[in-house]
């Protein structure tokens, strides 16, 4: 086997908790399944080599799971020391087998994700290329839409103001949350937003899995008149047959996938034809390496792509997808990094910085709860 002279010398892990300015609620809170979200847990991985090359990556968890991701990463990170950092696919498999007894999805691969993203970041930096260019970009910018301004804890007046501010910033589309116990409230909220935006602004809704099949069918029909780009997560994330029936019955595209935690789960969704728009989350399915495997499956089926959250990573992956994608704008993570992504004319621009193009801020260091390093 051909090898390079360089070897991984150290892996540094950080457990970081990002506080949210305002507790955030979607339909899962209004239906009593969850409490408002007040913080996001991040697992950061920083990998360094004997020749001085470095890479950074991250995974995250909302509400629960952050300590578990960090603990699993601590157990497996030592398997990278002494390895050739270029052999990313082989190293992903090595890390996966190191934790094979806890499975190949969910928390175990999410711990791998931070390490995998760091290896891809390093590889792109070594090539002096943005990650999108290393992968083979189809475009230098990606359509972007804002989600953070449309949550259900915000009164409709604030949602309208947030939408206007997003458009003024250059964001191209607006997504609002639905899925409230009172479906009439959802329709009234949607009507107000559409009238505020006008007919030309791309608009999406997200029910966060809170409808049953009859409700989703009724709401889907009622929402047809608003010309939505998609209806997101109308049903339970694993109800592939239900999503497929909606996709076949409605003119409005069905989007889902963010809660699936492996390529295998996404493959089942694709096989069932349960989505017009697939929404994988690289940190949730194990990093860039499995995302690329999934993207090949999705492209083969001519699915639209709209990766969930983590725009700092997903901008690069969306830029490398053959069909015109969307990327989701959340400003929540910005305090963690020294850099900012540029948005113009409805699109998010791929940065010309090498790698994924981010470095950790001093604020991230202040929010760090634990650190671990293996050499």
Summarize the annotated binding site for Mg(2+) as residue ranges: 206, 232, 258
Rounded Cα–Cα distance for residues 30 and 50 (Å) = 51
Chain CA centroid to CA 101, Å: 26
Q: Which residues are catalytic?
A: 177, 308
User: Cβ–Cβ contacts within 10 Å for residue 329, how many?
Assistant: 25
The order of strands in the sheet holding 8-24 is 54-62, 37-49, 8-24, 368-374
Annotated binding site: 26-28, 62-63, 175, 206, 208, 232, 258, 328
Decide: residue 340, CB within 10 A, 0-12 exposed, 13-18 middle, 19+ buried: exposed
Annotated binding site for substrate: 26-28, 62-63, 175, 208, 328
Rounded Cα–Cα distance for residues 334 and 358 (Å) = 10
Query: Token digits for 113?
Result: 């994700």
User: For residues 119 and 94, is the Cβ–Cβ distance under 8 A?
Assistant: no
Only one residue has tokens 């890479």, namely 55
């Amino acid at each position: 086997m051909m090898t390079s002279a360089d070897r991984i010398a150290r892996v540094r892990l950080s457990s970081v908790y990002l506080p949210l300015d305002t507790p955030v609620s979607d339909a899962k809170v209004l239906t009593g399944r969850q409490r408002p979200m007040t913080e996001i847990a991040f697992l950061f991985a920083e990998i360094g080599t004997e020749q001085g090359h470095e890479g950074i990556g991250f995974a995250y968890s909302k509400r629960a799971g952050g300590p578990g991701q960090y603990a699993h990463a601590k157990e497996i990170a030592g398997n990278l020391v002494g390895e050739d950092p270029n052999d990313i696919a082989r190293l992903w498999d090595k890390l996966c087998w190191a934790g094979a007894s806890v499975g190949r999805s969910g928390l175990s691969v999410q711990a791998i994700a931070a390490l995998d993203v760091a290896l891809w970041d390093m590889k792109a930096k070594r090539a002096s290329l943005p990650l999108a260019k290393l992968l083979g970009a189809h475009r230098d910018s990606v359509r972007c839409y804002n989600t953070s301004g449309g949550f259900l804890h915000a009164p409709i007046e604030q949602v309208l103001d947030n939408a206007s501010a997003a458009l003024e910033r250059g964001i191209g589309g607006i997504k609002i949350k639905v899925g409230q116990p009172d479906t009439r409230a959802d329709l009234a909220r949607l009507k107000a937003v559409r009238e505020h935006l006008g007919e030309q602004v791309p608009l999406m809704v997200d029910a966060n899995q809170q409808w049953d099949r009859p409700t989703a069918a009724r709401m889907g029909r009622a929402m047809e008149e608003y010309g939505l780009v998609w209806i997101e997560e109308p049903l339970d994330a694993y109800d592939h047959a239900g999503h497929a029936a909606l996709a076949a019955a409605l003119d409005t595209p069905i989007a889902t996938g963010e809660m699936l935690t492996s390529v295998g789960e996404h493959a089942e969704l694709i096989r069932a034809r349960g989505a017009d728009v697939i929404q994988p989350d690289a940190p949730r399915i194990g990093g860039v390496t499995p995302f690329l495997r999934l993207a090949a499956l999705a492209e083969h089926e001519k699915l639209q792509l709209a990766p969930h959250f983590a725009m700092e990573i997903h901008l690069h992956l969306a830029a490398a997808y053959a069909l015109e994608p969307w990327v989701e704008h959340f400003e929540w993570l910005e305090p963690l990094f020294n850099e900012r992504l540029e948005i113009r004319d409805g699109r998010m621009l791929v940065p010309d910085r090498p790698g994924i193009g981010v470095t950790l801020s001093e604020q991230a260091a202040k929010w760090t709860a634990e650190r671990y390093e293996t050499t």
